[in-house]
Structure formats: C-alpha cells, structure tokens
Amino acid sequence: MMSTAWSWFVIIVTLANIFACWWLIVWATKNKANNSKEGDVTGHVWDGDLQELNNPLPRWWLYLFYFTIVFGLGYLALYPGLGNFKGFLNWTEISQYNNEAREVHEAQIALFAPLAKLSPEELIKNEQALLTGGRLFAANCAGCHGSDARGARGFPNLTDDDWLYASDFDGIVMSISNGRTGVMPAWQAALNDDGVQEVTAFVRQLSGQDADSQLAAKGEARYNIFCVACHGVEGKGNPAMGAPNLANNIWLYGGSEAAISESVANGRIGKMPAQKDFLTEERIRLIAAYVSSLAK
C-alpha cells in the first residue's frame, strides 16, 4: 500500500498520460503537415528517390490506437493499477493463487480418493495408480534411487527383487514412511588387518567370487563369531535390521576386495530418510505400489 498522496499522484499521472495519447491522435489526424493536401509529398527524401507522402494513417490503424486507449481504461477500471484502487473485480495475485491452489487440491482429491480405496493387490495392477506413483517417485525418490530406481553405491536398487528390509507391500510402505537406518559396525579394531583380510576372502567366496581358500577358511571361523548374528548362517542377511544378503553377489557398496574390506573395516551407515512428514499416506501407498511393480 502506498500513501494516499502517492496513490493520487500515480492516478493523475497515469490518467493524464492516457488522455495525452488520445489528444495526440486527435490532434495529429486534424492537422496535416505544412497544411498540405492528401497525396502531397512532405519533402522528405531518402536513398535518392524514396519520398514520403502526406497520407493519413489507415483507418484500421487509427482505430487500433483508440481501441488501445479504451482497453487501457477498461483494464484500469477492472484490475489494480491506479494507485491504491483495487479495481472493480477485486482481483489480487493472492486470490488468483488461492483459487488455483484450491482447483489443484480438488483435482487431487478426485484423483486420489478412488485409489485410496483399493487394496495393495489392486493398486499394483492399476495403471492410474502406477502412473501417479511413478511421477511421485520421480519427484521424491529419484534423487537418491535414480530415475530408473536402479540406485547407486549406497542407495539400493529397487528393481532387482533383492531387499535389505521387508519386501511385501506393508514392508515397503514402512521403509518409505518411517525411513530406515542400516548400521554395519566397524571391525578394524576387533579383527585387525589380518582378520579383515580373512573375513573379506570368506565373503568373496560366499558370493561366488575368486578368493584365497586358505584365507577364506580362517575368515569363515571369524564370520561365525562376529558376523553370523546379523548376516545369518548362510550369509543370506536379515531383513529385520537391514543386514544385506552377502551370498548373492548383489552389493550395496560394491563386491570388490577393496570395497568389501572397506565395509568390514570401517563399517557402513545407510540412511533412508522418513517420508511421512512430506508425503500423505495415500501418496506413499501409490509409490509403494509403483516400487512393488518394478521388482516383479
């Protein structure tokens, strides 16, 4: 809001300008240059022989000028523009924004309400649900899991049907809603360099990769003491704490000797942030349906 004085100043200057334009047009159509007649030359010459004739503006052109003036006055009557005058339509940017936001919200309710009634099995088969879930995934998850959901180092691939945590619909909803934190302790202090090397050889062997069998045998003994509680007897992992399967040669941090010994020596902490504060339950269900559909 400007002060009343400024408001009147703006109103007067604006209207005076419009009036001046109108006056200029009227004046120009009434006064022919040098009192000459239509068709006379004005005496201006360019490029040797180009002469300016003293013809009036075409009618349509002239009317366009009048139309602009009428349009301008009409606009200023309806919309804000003249000082503090709000215009007869009472339009504001905020009211337009609110109206549009309400329309979007209503459209979303219309879109989500029927889907919210569907069971997980129905959602996973519903084209509309998967399409919307895919868009929500692109907007909220692709930054970490990749636009194709194939993940990256430290960010699990969601398409390979190898899961850190529960992989049924409710488990995936849990992963998304509450987030997940996988904690792999650091073993350097307990195992020393030799121990880390041995256990790494065993994990390589477990996953079907080349490894020194003598080292691996020593590693297995250590594994059965230090690792079995979380990664399981056969190395198949434990979804309750997100301990990865070490036997399938699918890796979160890499399966090379260097990557495995790094995981073992220094530990790993993978963190999936909880989404329930950003996404409504309906949306999370749609994303979970989309994620489920990827792995199947």
Q: How far apart are CA 106 and CA 104, in angstroms?
A: 5
Phi-psi category of residue 54: left, alpha or beta, with phi > 0 → left and psi -120 to 50 → alpha:
beta
The least distance separating ligand HEC from the CB of residue 107, rounded to whole angstroms, comes to 22
In angstroms, what is the minimal distance from the CB of 148 to ligand HEC? 13
- Binding status of residue 252 toward ligand HEC by CB under 6 A: yes
Residue among 130, 263, 292, 294 that touches ligand HEC (CB under 6 A):
263
Binding mask 135-174 for ligand HEC (x = CB under 6 A): --x--xx-xxx--------xxx-x----xxx------x--
Q: Distance between CA atoms of 146 and 154, rounded to whole angstroms?
A: 12
State yes or no: residue 133 binds ligand HEC (CB under 6 A): no
Q: Which residues contact 49 (CB under 8 A, 6 or more apart)?
A: none
Q: Cα 271 to the chain's mean position, in Å?
A: 21
Binding pattern to ligand HEC, positions 182-221, x when CB under 6 A? xxxx-x-----------x---x------------------
d(CA 164, CA 154) in angstroms, rounded, equals 12
Report which residue's Cβ sits closest to ligand HEC: 270
CB 172 within 8 A of CB 159: no
Question: Cβ neighbours of residue 32 under 8 Å, at least 6 residues apart?
Answer: 38, 54
Which chain residues interact with ligand HEC by CB under 6 A?
A: 137, 140-141, 143-145, 154-156, 158, 163-165, 172, 175-176, 180-185, 187, 199, 203, 226-227, 229-231, 241-244, 246, 251-253, 260, 263-264, 268-273, 275, 287, 291
